[in-house]
Amino acid sequence: MITVLLLAMVVLPAAGVAAQALALWFGCRRSERATVMIVALVFGAVAIAAVTLALTLLVTGRDMIDVQVGPWFATSDHAWRWHLVADRLCVPFALCAAALIGLIGALSSRYLHREPGFYRFYLLLTLFGTGVELVVLAGSLTVVFVGWELVGMASALLIAYFHDRQGPVRHGLRAFLTYRACDVGLLAGTALLADAAGSVDLSGPPAPPAPRAGWTSVLGWTGWAQVPVPGSTVSATIVALLLLLGVVGKSALVPVSGWLPRAMEGPTPSSAIFYGAISVHLGPYLLLRAHALLDAAPAARVLVVLLGLASALHATLVGRVQSDIKNALAYASMTQVGLIVAEIGLGLYPLAIVHILGHAAMRSAQILRSPSLLHDRHHLEQAMGRTLPHTGRHLERFVPVRWRLPLYRYGFEHGYLDVWLRRLRDPIAGLLRAIDHTQRRVADRLGGTRSDTTLEVTGMGQTAGTTAVSLPAARREI
């Protein structure tokens, strides 16, 4: 029964994606209410399954439920398996994700009523939910990567939801390219970890420490499954840094944070669920899973703390000069995510979990409220006959006068990060082209001999002639 519940939390969203995709492919006519009902039932069932698993863990005293689904593929060195787990870390995340996706799916029915892309929105929302549940319940980093990519694809497509305009498409492409560049770290870290540790499966949690002098040390015990740790400190540091690269892209940390405010081009419900509640928190979730690597790599832990604090400070300065409410909320979300990353780097894991769950619920409500909030503010200002006072002015007293203008310009220019990234674009593109050219030359040299091979050229059912060419040359011509 437990196995069925755990599998259902991934299979049901995937079945919802398949049902909606087939209906769109074959042009089946259905009402908006039926589509909303499918999404609500799917994620409602996932939430019920998560609650049941949580009660099972609590009643039975088990730390982890491990389900081996079956082999995916195997090589001479490793066997990659579909592997799911449920423990005290993933169950709260799975429940929070399912509840928020189901809630926002229900609220979106009126927001997107009669929108031309109504069914496309719900298809992508269900695909996103499938990817999130797969990341959260994954029992190995290979399964994490599959869900990670599904989340990234759904996010980019929903940023470009209004594809008849140039802005959303351009911003969706930027988010997609940022994901692709940073997800290389997760892929390379998984491969290196498989070679260094012999496995990428999540192992069981350690035993809780013994109580000391009336203090139970609960805050120091991380009772959930974790990634394996290589025996070498150097290997652990490299793997941790590669995983951190994936976290930087998914959670919009500096220096690639520019895609997050641009992601607000998508519909407000998707902005709430993706960039306020769930998607940006998958990076900290991965760091919580990999906390054993941080314990074995002090240099990586220091970098995590510095990167989190730098992202929080950057987002605070830039967010204070934003004139658009959704952009301001995007930078506010970035600030909190940076603080969460710093908390993980400092080893405050339970505090980070509570921070993530609380911030996800609060930020979703704020972004969903943002369109009507502007409407209500204008009515209030008209009723009062004056402009409402700005909040946060008390913080200016702590900033010296001579620093205010440079800090304002820093925030107005988004920290100059876009300028530096544009300057790095051409050298990086040239490096990638050089690598590609080198790979092609090596492939041509190793692809076979240059012995002549007779190729028969035919046309219109008759032999037109024969010619002798070398195989590498023929490949280049094609």
Angstrom distance (rounded) from CA 381 to CA 404: 28
- Contact 251/337 with Cβ under 8 angstroms? yes
Residues 6+ apart with CB under 8 A from 248: 182, 185, 256, 283, 307
Angstrom distance (rounded) from CA 248 to CA 308: 10
Angstrom distance (rounded) from CA 257 to CA 162: 22
Position 113 in a domain: yes
Residue by residue, pLDDT tens for the chain (478 residues) are: 788 888 999 999 999 999 999 988 887 777 888 888 989 999 999 999 999 998 988 888 887 888 888 777 776 666 677 889 988 889 999 999 999 998 888 888 888 888 888 899 999 999 999 999 999 999 889 999 999 999 999 999 999 888 888 888 998 898 898 998 899 999 999 989 988 888 888 876 655 555 443 333 334 456 788 888 888 889 999 999 999 999 999 998 988 888 888 888 778 787 777 777 888 999 999 999 998 899 899 999 999 999 999 999 999 888 888 877 878 888 889 999 999 999 999 989 999 999 999 999 888 888 887 777 777 777 777 777 777 666 666 666 677 777 777 777 777 677 777 777 777 777 877 887 888 888 888 888 886 544 444 434 334 334 334 444 443 443 333 3
Angle at the Cα of 197 (from 192 to 203), degrees rounded to 5?
A: 115
Residue 431 CA: distances (Å) to CA of 340, 435, 438: 34, 6, 11
Position 457 in a domain: no
Q: What domain range is 269 assigned to? A: 2-204+229-378
Residue 128: predicted pLDDT: 93
- Contact 39/125 with Cβ under 8 angstroms? yes
With both helix axes pointing from N to C terminus, report the angle between 298-319 and 325-345 in degrees, rounded to the nearest 10: 160
Both tokens assigned to 60: 């039975």
Position 284 in a domain: yes
Angstrom distance (rounded) from CA 142 to CA 135: 10
Residue 298: predicted pLDDT: 92
Q: Which of 354, 334, 359 is nearest to 344 (CA)?
A: 354
Residue 309: predicted pLDDT: 95
Residue 467: predicted pLDDT: 41
Position 442 in a domain: no
Helix (H) or strand (E) holding 364, with range, is helix 349-384
The backbone region for 211, taken as left when phi is positive above 0, alpha when psi lies in -120 to 50, beta otherwise, is beta
| Number of compact structural domains in the chain | 1
Which segments of 138-165 does DSSP mark as H helices, in order? 141-159
Residue 448: predicted pLDDT: 54
Angstrom distance (rounded) from CA 108 to CA 337: 25
Residue 393: predicted pLDDT: 64
Residue 239: predicted pLDDT: 94
Position 212 in a domain: no
Position 468 in a domain: no
Position 419 in a domain: no
Angstrom distance (rounded) from CA 360 to CA 246: 20
Position 60 in a domain: yes
The backbone region for 242, taken as left when phi is positive above 0, alpha when psi lies in -120 to 50, beta otherwise, is alpha
